[in-house]
Structure 1
Amino acid sequence: MSILYFIRHGQASFGKSDYDSLSPVGELQSRLLADYLLSSHMTFDAILVGPQQRHRQTARPLIDACQEKGGTGPEIVEIPEMAEYDFTTVLRELIPVMTAESEAFNRDAGLMFTDRKAFQRLFEAVMLRWVGGDHHLPAELTWTAFKARVIRGVETLMARYGRGKNVAVFTSGGPISATIQEVLRLSDAMAMQVNWQVVNGSMTRFKCTHEKIMMASFNEYPWLEMHADREIITYR
């Protein structure tokens, strides 16, 4: 049996022109994660990294530390199936529809780039609408298509690393929650609600063989809890 360690990226740059880049807090989260794993003498046979820049940046401190130790080190592989869903397109397509339906939603839309709470309310409403299928997005942008792509990636991991391996997978909250949904047979709405609880720089473990997968832990982040500044525990 193998263990797959799904790690959510550190905090990205909310409100900046390049969201897909770690904030200073995200960089700190990534270093604390790597330091904790190394001090715990945890070793990996492979480190898989999703295609987004924030995935690579979060993995970098651990990869660098493993390579500095010498020897062959873990296999480093990019896994495109672990990309996050295209939330910018979903927001762009659904916000106008929902703005026309609700004055409260319209007010939040006007504040979404300056007020985190307004953005959170708007984002949650749009995402629940999205996973509920109440929209006219192209088939490839639906939650159903996103889930299918993530599960193909999970099946690839199981086929390649399903026996006696420790594998770190750096990804986003969406692929983590879609995998949890598949394993625990959650509804789409429940999967999205799980997604909102995944902390930046946290780790969720799955045990797997070539044929089956089960959840072993959810949303671990002691490396953040031990830090003096509790504001480094972030969700977006």
Structure 2
Amino acid sequence: MSELLVIRHGQASFGHDDYDVLSDLGHQQAEAVGALLREMAWVPDRLVTGTLKRQRDTLTSMGFAGGGEEHAGFNEYDFGDLLQARFRGDVPDLVKGDRRTHFRTLRETVFEWQDASFDGASETYAEFAARVEAARAFACDTDAKRVLVVSSGGVIGQMTAVALGADRRHMMELNLQIKNTAMTRFVFNGARCSLNEFNATPHFMTPEGAKLLSYS
């Protein structure tokens, strides 16, 4: 069996004009998980990210300069676009600026997106699910024994829900639990892919490491 280790990117820049930029904390989180993998002698044979800057920069800060392959299927769903579509271009200021309100509203919005309860989004949920599966298949179509992927919370939630045979609602429930630079591990052999570990952060399990913990 081979391993597919999927790591969520480090903390990005919530509330800023450009979310797709790692914060200083995000870079520290990436350095910590990279150091842990080296300490464990877990050396990847293949590196893959989505095309988002926060994903690529996480891989670099982990210590894998030069990057790896890219597959857009590992990109996050466009949550800003979903909110714009749901609220028809008039997203309330509280949703945009208050973290708690934002994520509660996002959860509700993703459920409505899954049910196709509004239109105007650039991507349907069915299209999202299909591209995530295509990205997983791409990452697992290899002779490599250890594949390292840097992706995003929604993608990891979707992959995990599918591996568990859970209903689509679980995608978002899992998504909201995933910590920045958490590790989710699958084992695969050909078309078979099973969940082995979810949302693990041993690099935060010290007094100093605990200071690096974030969810968004």
TM-score, normalised by the number of residues in structure 1: 0.84
Structure 1 position 213, deviation (Å): 0.5
How far apart, CA to CA, are the structure 2 residues paired with 1:121 and 1:180?
A: 21
The answer to whether the 8 Å contact 1:150/1:179 transfers is yes
Equivalent residue for 1:219?
199
The aligned runs of 1:65-214 (5 Å cut-off) are 76-96=68-88, 109-137=92-120, 141-161=123-143, 165-214=145-194
Distance 2:169 2:97 in 1: 27
Provide structure 1 residue ranges, at least 5 long, that are not aligned to the other structure. 68-74, 100-105
The CA distance in 2 between the partners of 1:111 and 1:76, in whole Å, is 38
Give the secondary-structure state (helix, strand or coil) at the position aligned to 2:119. Answer: coil
Q: Which residue of 2 aligns with 1:20?
A: 20
Instruction: Report the structure, 1 or 2, having the larger helix content.
Output: 1
SS at match of 2:96: coil
Q: CA deviation at 1:153?
A: 1.2
Query: What is the RMSD computed on CA atoms of the aligned residues?
Result: 2.1
Quick check: 2:48–2:139 contact (8 Å CA) kept in 1? Answer: no
Q: Is the 8 A contact 1:132 1:189 kept in 2?
A: no
Q: Who wins on radius of gyration, i.e. which is larger?
A: 1
Q: Which amino acid aligns with 1:154?
A: R
The number of residues matched between the two structures is: 216
Contact 2:51 2:75 in 1 (8 A): yes
Give the equivalent residue in structure 2 for 1:70. Answer: none
Alignment-derived partner of residue 72 in structure 1: none
Alignment-mate amino acid for residue 158 of structure 1:
C
Stretches of structure 2 that go unaligned for 5 or more consecutive residues are none
Distance between the aligned counterparts of 1:229 and 1:152, measured in 2?
34
Identity, in percent, stands at 29
Q: 1:228 aligns with which of 172, 197, 208?
A: 208
**CA–CA distance in structure 1, aligned partners of residues 14 and 165 of structure 2:** 31
Q: Is the 8 A contact 2:12 2:21 kept in 1?
A: yes
CA drift at 1:128: 1.8
The amino acid of 2:157's aligned partner reads: S
Q: In the alignment, is the contact (CA less than 8 A) between 2:184 and 2:199 conserved in 1?
A: yes
1:21-40 matches, within 5 Å, as 21-40=21-40
